[in-house]
Amino acid sequence: MLQNDEPFRWEVLDQRLIAPKISAIADKMHKRAAGEERRIAYEVAQSGNAAGYLPRLFDFHEQLTEQWAADVYAAHCKAWKEQGRTVSPGFIRAVRDRAITPLIATRKGTVQWEVSIRATRISEPLNSCALGEWSRRMDRLAARWSSKLEAEAVAAEYRSSDQGCDIGNAELPDLLKLADGFQLPDPVGTNPFRPEDPRHQVWKAASRRAEQEVCVLNAAGIDVACEFRSCTEDEARRLVFARVSYLACAKYDIWAKRGIQIVWSDEAIPTYDQWLANYANAWLNTVKNWRFEMEGLLPELRSRLIGRMEFWKSEARRYVAEQQTAVAKREDPHQLLQAGHTPGEKPEPAPAPKRTVIGSNIDKFRKECGWSYHDLSNRTGLEKKLILGHVNKAKGLYPKTLKIYADAFTKTLGRIVSVKDLETPTG
């Protein structure tokens, strides 16, 4: 029996499972092609525009081949899972090379042959220019599928590494394994304060919230490779860079926010500053040593981590100042944090009892970015009062405004967030 960690071999795929599926897909596609070709020929004859036949035919067959390839890929994945196996990078690349690429090449030749036969039958000169354009269109389609499946294979490599990540698994994947001293899912490890220390309970509660945020981050998947169709290997690599960069900075923010909650005095600030620097260096060393392809990511990741480090150093100083003010007023110095607010930020106005779909989605993506409403205002250039109206009442929302939100979320999350995503209800 093939084990999960063995290289994929094509002959292991049970043809008794896959052959009926491929045959059913072919029958469906041939019937669809025959019906659509008759419809195109009839409509062209009715319009009297004979020159419109080939462009419409090629448009249809390109769309048909796209759907055909998607169905064939899905059928292979289903058959492989029916064998109790996991879709691996080797499996994806094998299906690409042994099924998808030959399928597109076959469809390319078949349509060329059918067009040639039709030209002979109706005594019409063969349109070599149109056939040349058809050949190039199918070559581009093959390139898109090759890049898309390569990106999925790369994403599968990450997913296979991510199993058990940050859920207490002692063996972390290479991508997320921190440098020496940071191997635990929690970069600090156990609670550093004695039970009688008042900071012990604060740290415990803050760690629980941080672990929850890490679980949400892991659940999100951040699978940009499957959401954006890259046309070149370079684009696929940039998508991988975006995912790694986002993941590193997001986890950095989660644990930095936990750590700031025990910075209660000016004397604690230098220790917190040093921890921020150590944690940022740990991420850089991890990415640097992970694989050589990541070397190009280091300058960008370094700049982003420095930015996050300086942000949290500033927040630590503001938080200490707020605590001193709270103590002077005899208020609870930890009230803002216990209520779930970022240090230094005043609580936001209570939201309306019911929000529209768009308002809820804007707020969901804002939280996923780790932004306050003030941060969202800075990133979009929209006034905070206007944003709160959008979130709570969906007032004054226009397509152009939604595009501003979508672009801001896309840039920070490292994946495509469209206007449609903001308008679509989520489960």
Q: What is the CA radius of gyration of the chain?
A: 28
CA pair distance 241, 303, nearest whole angstrom: 14
> What is the pLDDT averaged over residues 194-207?
82
User: Residue 90's pLDDT is what?
Assistant: 85
> Within a domain: residue 412?
yes
* Residue that terminates a domain, selected from 162, 192, 207: 162
> Within a domain: residue 213?
yes
CA pair distance 406, 16, nearest whole angstrom: 46
> What is the pLDDT averaged over residues 372-395?
83
Residues belonging to the chain: 427
Residue 75's alpha-carbon distances to 6, 98, 131, 132, 309, in angstroms, are: 22, 14, 31, 31, 47
> Within a domain: residue 94?
yes
CA pair distance 328, 196, nearest whole angstrom: 25
User: Residue 131's pLDDT is what?
Assistant: 87
Domain shared by 329 and 393, yes or no = no
Residue 352 predicted with pLDDT over 50: no
Q: Which of the 8 DSSP states describes residue 164?
A: T
Paired tokens of 46: 């009715």
Paired tokens of 103: 């399928």
Domain shared by 299 and 408, yes or no = no
User: Residue 219's pLDDT is what?
Assistant: 66
Give every CB contact of residue 10 below 8 A, 6+ residues apart in sequence: 94, 98
- Tens-place pLDDT, residues 386-420: 888 888 876 667 788 888 888 888 888 878 888 88
* Residue that terminates a domain, selected from 338, 370, 402: 338
Residue 38's alpha-carbon distances to 59, 274, 362, in angstroms, are: 15, 73, 47
Question: Which percentage of the chain shows pLDDT scores above 70?
Answer: 75
Domain shared by 268 and 207, yes or no = yes
> What is the pLDDT averaged over residues 332-347?
47
> Within a domain: residue 381?
yes
Phi, psi of 346 (to 5 degrees): -70, 150
User: Residue 156's pLDDT is what?
Assistant: 74
- Residue 364 contacts residue 404 (beta carbons within 8 Å): no
Domain shared by 28 and 135, yes or no = yes
Which residue, chain included where needed, has tokens 């419409």? 56
- Tens-place pLDDT, residues 149-199: 888 887 777 665 444 333 333 333 343 333 333 334 677 767 777 887 787
Paired tokens of 2: 């093939």
* pLDDT, greater one: 64 or 294: 64
Residue 70 predicted with pLDDT over 90: yes
Domain shared by 208 and 326, yes or no = yes
User: Residue 193's pLDDT is what?
Assistant: 76
Give the least confident one: 42-46, 265-269, 292-296.
292-296
CA pair distance 398, 250, nearest whole angstrom: 30
Domain shared by 24 and 135, yes or no = yes
Which ranges constitute the DSSP H helices of 48-172?
A: 53-82, 89-95, 101-121, 128-162
> Within a domain: residue 352?
no
User: How many domains is the chain built from?
Assistant: 3
User: Residue 229's pLDDT is what?
Assistant: 52
> What is the pLDDT averaged over residues 106-113?
88
Mean pLDDT of the chain: 77
User: Residue 63's pLDDT is what?
Assistant: 92
Residue 183: Cβ within 10 Å count: 14
Domain shared by 122 and 229, yes or no = no
- Residue 185 contacts residue 167 (beta carbons within 8 Å): yes
- Tens-place pLDDT, residues 72-82: 999 999 998 88
CA pair distance 137, 152, nearest whole angstrom: 23
CA pair distance 156, 166, nearest whole angstrom: 18
Domain shared by 196 and 152, yes or no = no
Q: How far is CA 151 from the centre of its chain?
A: 12
* pLDDT, greater one: 288 or 347: 288
* Residue that terminates a domain, selected from 136, 162, 188: 162
Domain shared by 32 and 68, yes or no = yes
Q: Half-sphere exposure (CA, 13 Å, Cβ side) for 292?
A: 0
CA pair distance 85, 77, nearest whole angstrom: 9
User: Residue 178's pLDDT is what?
Assistant: 36
User: Residue 179's pLDDT is what?
Assistant: 34
Looking up residue 375, the CATH number of its domain turns out to be 1.10.260.40
Measured at the CA of 243, the angle between CA 242 and CA 247, to 5 degrees, comes to: 115
> Within a domain: residue 2?
no
Measured at the CA of 342, the angle between CA 341 and CA 346, to 5 degrees, comes to: 65
DSSP 249-307: HHHHHHHHHHHGGG--SGGGHHHHHHHHHHHHHHHHHHHHHH-GGGGGGHHHHHHHHHH
User: Residue 75's pLDDT is what?
Assistant: 92
User: Residue 169's pLDDT is what?
Assistant: 35
User: Residue 72's pLDDT is what?
Assistant: 93
User: Residue 48's pLDDT is what?
Assistant: 83
Domain shared by 221 and 120, yes or no = no
> Within a domain: residue 345?
no
Residue 95 predicted with pLDDT over 80: yes
Paired tokens of 11: 């002959």
Domain shared by 178 and 325, yes or no = yes
Closest-CA residue to 413 (of 232, 233, 220, 231):
220
User: Residue 187's pLDDT is what?
Assistant: 73
CA pair distance 139, 40, nearest whole angstrom: 24
Give the least confident one: 27-41, 149-163, 265-279, 306-320.
149-163
Domain shared by 225 and 300, yes or no = yes
Q: Which of the 8 DSSP states describes residue 349?
A: P
Which of 331-335, 345-349, 422-426 is the most confident on average?
Answer: 422-426
* Domain membership of residue 17 as a residue range: 10-162
Q: Half-sphere exposure (CA, 13 Å, Cβ side) for 386?
A: 13
DSSP 359-420: HHHHHHHHHHHT--HHHHHHHH---HHHHHHHHHH-TT--HHHHHHHHHHHHHHHTS---HH
- Residue 278 contacts residue 333 (beta carbons within 8 Å): no
Give the three-state DSSP class for 229. Answer: coil
- Tens-place pLDDT, residues 228-263: 555 566 666 666 667 777 778 888 888 888 888 888
CA pair distance 363, 360, nearest whole angstrom: 5
Give every CB contact of residue 284 below 8 A, 6+ residues apart in sequence: 298, 301, 302, 305
> Within a domain: residue 168?
no
User: Residue 287's pLDDT is what?
Assistant: 72
CA pair distance 77, 86, nearest whole angstrom: 9
User: Residue 290's pLDDT is what?
Assistant: 60
